[in-house]
Amino acid sequence: MFNLLNADVDYVVVVGGDGTVLNVLQLLGDNNLPILAVKSGRRAFLCEVPPDEFREFFSRFVRGEFTIKEYMRLESIVDDFRLPYVLNEYVLTTSGMFRSKVAHFRVFKVVGGSSRLIYDILSDGIIIATSVGSTAYNLSVGGPLVDPGLEALIVTPLAPLSLCIRPIVLPSYVDVVVEVGSESYGADVIADGNYVGKVEPGGFIRVRKARKSARFVRFSDVGFDYKVFQGPIYGF
C-alpha cells in the first residue's frame, strides 16, 4: 500500500466525496501536501472541481493557474497518546453498551497555565469542531456556523440535560480539555468520522490547534468556503 506519510510527491489528487478527503488528510498526517479534490460522492462540500470539468481544471493546474489555501486543523491527546488530526471535528460520545446513556463531562478552556470551567454537564457527548467543520455534524445538532476564514474552536454539547447549555466559540490559541467524570460511563473518540480511541472514566482529552494545517488547491476566490451561506439559511 502506498505510504502517504513519506510520499515523494508535490500534490495529491483526491477523487471522491468529503469522507474520502478527510480519510486522505488523516493518512497524510504531518505531511500536509496540497490536495486537489475532485467531486465524486454524495457529499462533496470540500471538493471544488466538478468531475465533468476535470480536464479544464487540470490544464489550469498544470499551467500553475491556482492558489494554495490553508485551513486550520485540530490535534488531540488522550493519556499522552496523540490522535490523528481532524479538519472537521472530534466527537466524544458514550460508547458500547452505554450508547443510549448520558455521561458526565467537564469542559475547560485552558490558556497558558490557567484553566476555566466552561461546562459541567450530563449529555450524550461533546463536539469540538473547526470553522470548516462548523458546517458538518456541529451544524446538524444546532451548533453555530462560523466562516471558514476564521480560526476558532467550536464546542457543542450533544443533547445536554439542561435548557441553559449552548455552544461556545473559542479563539484558536485556546486548548479545550474535556474530562469524563470518574463515576460516569466512558466515551468513544471519533475523529472526522473514524473511531480513534476512548476516554475512560476519570480520563481526559486535550484538543488544540494543530501544528500543520490542511492545504487545498484552489482555482477561485469562491470555493467551498461560501457554499454553505447560499440558499435559505440566511434568506438569500
CA distances in angstroms from 23 to 16, 77, 86, 122, 168, listed in the order given = 11, 19, 9, 31, 27
What one-character-per-residue DSSP string does 196-212 give? EEEE-TT-EEEEEE-SS
Sheet holding 152-158, edge to edge: 168-171, 152-158, 125-129, 89-94, 187-191, 194-199
Q: Which of 10, 18, 30, 192 is catalytic?
A: 18
Residue located via cell numbers 473514524: 194
Cβ atoms of residues 95 and 185 within 8 Å: yes
Which residue, 109, 106, 108, 146, is CA-closest to 129? Answer: 146
Cβ atoms of residues 25 and 87 within 8 Å: yes
**Active site includes 80?**
no
CA distances in angstroms from 110 to 34, 76, 100, 221, listed in the order given = 31, 14, 30, 34
What is the C-alpha to C-alpha distance for residues 14 and 34, in angstroms, rounded to an integer?
Answer: 10
Residue located via cell numbers 500536509: 32
Q: What residues are labeled active site?
A: 18
